Each structure stands twice: as C-alpha cells, then as structure tokens.
Structure 1
C-alpha cells in the first residue's frame, strides 16, 4: 500500500484545511487503498486584509522550503484569497515559483494553489456560470469574483459574509450555507461555489446545498483535494466530495 506525504502551506490562523483535506482523503480510503500523511508550514496572518495577505504571501517561499525538507509528494498553498489578491493569474506565477523552491532544495514536488484548483476544477466540470459565497469583506470578495471572471467563468451573483477575523471565519456554522445559497438565484448557473475560502468550513453542508439548488456544489477545500489527487496521478473519486470528486474529472 502506497503512502503519500501531503504538504500544506497555511495561514497561521487557519484551522480548517488541516481538518477538511484530511477528512476528504480519509474518506477516499473507502474506495482506494492509498494512505496519506499531512504536514504543514505556516505563514503569519490574523486579519483577512489586503495588507496582511500580501505580507503573508511573502512567507510562502520559506514554507515551501520547509515542506520540501520533509520530502512531501505534493504541496498545497491553502489560502485562496491571498493568491487572488495579488493580481489576475497569480496562481500560475506562485505555483511555478514555489515549485522552483522545492527543486532548488533537491526535493522537487508539484505545487498547487487553492485559487488555481478552484478555477481549474470549475473548468474541468464545464461550468461557465457560477454563484459564489465568500466570508470576506465586500472589497476582497469582489476581488475574488473578478479573479474568477478573468479566468473565463461568469459569476452571475455573489454573497460576501463580511467576516474579517480569520478565526471567526473558521467558527462560522457551515449549516448556515445552504440557507444562504437558497436565497440566491441559482436557476441559470452550472455550479455553486459554496465556500470560496479554505478557512470557512463547508463539507458538511455540501449534500444539503446540492439538494437545495439541484446544482453541483464545489468548495475551495474540495477543489484543492481534487487538484492534489490529479498532481499525484491518482483517481479523483472521494465519497461525499460532491460532483468534482465523483471520479469523472
């Protein structure tokens, strides 16, 4: 049985990615034999503001170096808004630069970002129109929406929950999300982005949100898991992971 080391570059105040990603990959164990271990390096960030996000992103090279010291098999940059706040298309630049860091450390490993994973996952599903729910203050949420639009995906409507403290984002009850989505017009969309944030918990709410909307539901954590499995050249079937992790994509 093969085991993979999964490295995560996370904001210092993030407490969700180290629960949701392992939960998904553990659920994958119901249908596949591989096992995973999880290893993190942290970038300092408490408030979700443009200033703190920019300063935090500067720490990502150090995190990639540290994780490559552990010879991880894949690295995930687990902060969607930090990437998206740095300018359109920045997920490509970030992944390339951090990948070079691992290569220079004689421990080359693929690097994926939550931002790139969300965009790539939506494209893989053929989603041309989406609605988006994000916990950020409105200016940052709008930045995320424009980033997604710049990648050729129409965001027909979006909702910002306006939570600035990152720990408060983690404390948001995921079971509030289906009700929030139910108030949005999803009639003409191809998919629902239930959580455009890796810190806002959402996994438990995915089945209910799919039932409420009748649409495929994607989250940043689900997309990140999908991209990690793709980078490891593994099957993308994860029970309970929604449409993107159905194994079709």
Structure 2
C-alpha cells in the first residue's frame, strides 16, 4: 500500500529551527499527490555579525543536520532535501561528494538534495555562467558565498548582502528589499540572478522578477524543491512559480 496523501512522492525536508520561510514556500510548490514532511536542525539565533559568530552558526547547523535527517526518515519519505544555503557545508568541490555521502548515510540511503547540486543543475539548464548573487548576510557571509560560486566555476558579476544579523532575522527581509536589490545588481552583463539563504522568502518575488528582467531569477527554496522533484521522477510543469518549475 502507498501513502494515502502522498502516493507519488513523499519529500523529507530538514531546515534550521530558526527558519520560518522554507517550509511554507515549499508547501506552495507541491504538485498533486506529493507531500512534504519537515524535521528541524536545532540551532540558536546567534549573532552572525563577525567571522567567529558566523562560523559558530555554520558549525551549529553541521552538528544538528544528521539528527534532523534521522528524525524525518522514520516517516519513510522517498527523498530528503537539506534546506540550508550552499556555504553551510562548503569546503570546496572536493569535499562535496564526502558531505553528500554522509547525508545519504544519515538518510538510510535515500536520495538527498543539497543546494550545491540543485543550483549547479539549474544554472546548467539555463546555460548561465555569469551571475549576480543576493545573500541575506553581512560581508563575512558573502565571502563564503563568493567562494562557493567561484569554486564551482561561475563568474560573479555582482554580489549583495542584505546585512541580517542572525539566522531568525533573515526571515524579516521584505519583498520590497528584495525587489530593490535585484534591480541594483542586474545588468546586461548578468545571465542569471541567484538568491541564497533558505530563510529568505523570495520564491514569489523571484517568479515575478523574471517577467520584467527577462532572465532567470533563482531562489534557494525553489531550486531545492525543483531539483528534488526532477531527480525523483516528478516531471510536472508547475506554473506560477517561475520558469524553473514551469519550463525545466
């Protein structure tokens, strides 16, 4: 017998406990007969204004990810999304296979989607290499984000951080702020705009922004969910949430 509400796919999603954006945004993206099941990485709402504080938050996420995965695997999902920004586990391309393998082990061998794979897959689908990046961070966090994209072979034309001082405060970023920063970093030299930070509620604004910019605008939560669906056999074209889900 299959699950009565999610016979096509059950998606386990693990998020930091401070995150209030990823769960509702991913719920809005669900195709028919696909269900989401959320576990939480328990972390504190600690300061990220300097390098020691930012590193402390990243270490807290790393320590709590495996227990969160294990907490959601008991409902027997078909796959797991690790809904954190790419820099949370990024120590260079050579380390990613090792990190992903450890996540799969914690998930009892289930397929695992992480931001590096999802973002790379989306930018490959669009054929985009020259990008502008939006982050929720202060400069110390932006440095980690820049390293991720440069190590992955992308040309960062511009990067802007929104200066949020702690993990929970990231959810306070408004659509007006996001609209303004997207307009600021765009230009004819940019092939795609990428937003990182899964506690930034940008899925709706990203979809709308594509209509006036005429280019891909990729939000972290949307790209994670798109990648999980496609990797696990759900090819539905989901409309109203941007070109990634409707065209790829």
* TM-score higher than 0.5: yes
In 1, Cα distance between the equivalents of 2:247 and 2:119? 16
Name the SS of the counterpart of 1:59 in structure 2. Answer: helix
Q: Runs of 4+ in structure 1 displaced over 3 angstroms?
A: none
Moved more, 93-102 or 218-227: 93-102
Structure 2: 5+ residue runs without aligned partners? Answer: 1-5, 49-53
Q: CA deviation at 1:111?
A: 0.8
In 2, Cα distance between the equivalents of 1:82 and 1:153? 15
* Contact in 2 for aligned 1:134/1:197 (Cα 8 Å): yes
Q: CA deviation at 1:82?
A: 5.0
In 1, Cα distance between the equivalents of 2:142 and 2:236? 29
* Contact in 2 for aligned 1:177/1:209 (Cα 8 Å): no
In 1, Cα distance between the equivalents of 2:42 and 2:247? 32
Alignment correspondent of 1:217: 217
Q: 1:18 aligns with which of 12, 20, 23?
A: 23
Q: CA deviation at 1:94?
A: 2.3
Figure out how many residues of one structure are paired with residues of the other and give that number: 236
Verify: 1:61 aligned to 2:70, yes or no. no
Q: CA deviation at 1:8?
A: 1.4
Name the SS of the counterpart of 2:124 in structure 1. Answer: helix
Q: CA deviation at 1:74?
A: 1.1
Alignment correspondent of 1:97: 102
Name the SS of the counterpart of 1:9 in structure 2. Answer: strand
Q: CA deviation at 1:168?
A: 1.6
Structure 1: 5+ residue runs without aligned partners? Answer: none
Query: RMSD over aligned Cα, in angstroms?
Result: 1.9
CA distance 1:45–1:7, shift in 2 (3 Å): farther
* Contact in 1 for aligned 2:164/2:170 (Cα 8 Å): yes
Moved more, 46-55 or 156-165: 46-55
Report matched runs for 1:158-169 at 5 Å.
158-169=159-170
Q: CA deviation at 1:119?
A: 2.4
In 1, Cα distance between the equivalents of 2:207 and 2:12? 28
TM-score (norm 1): 0.87
* Contact in 1 for aligned 2:126/2:216 (Cα 8 Å): no
TM-score (norm 2): 0.87
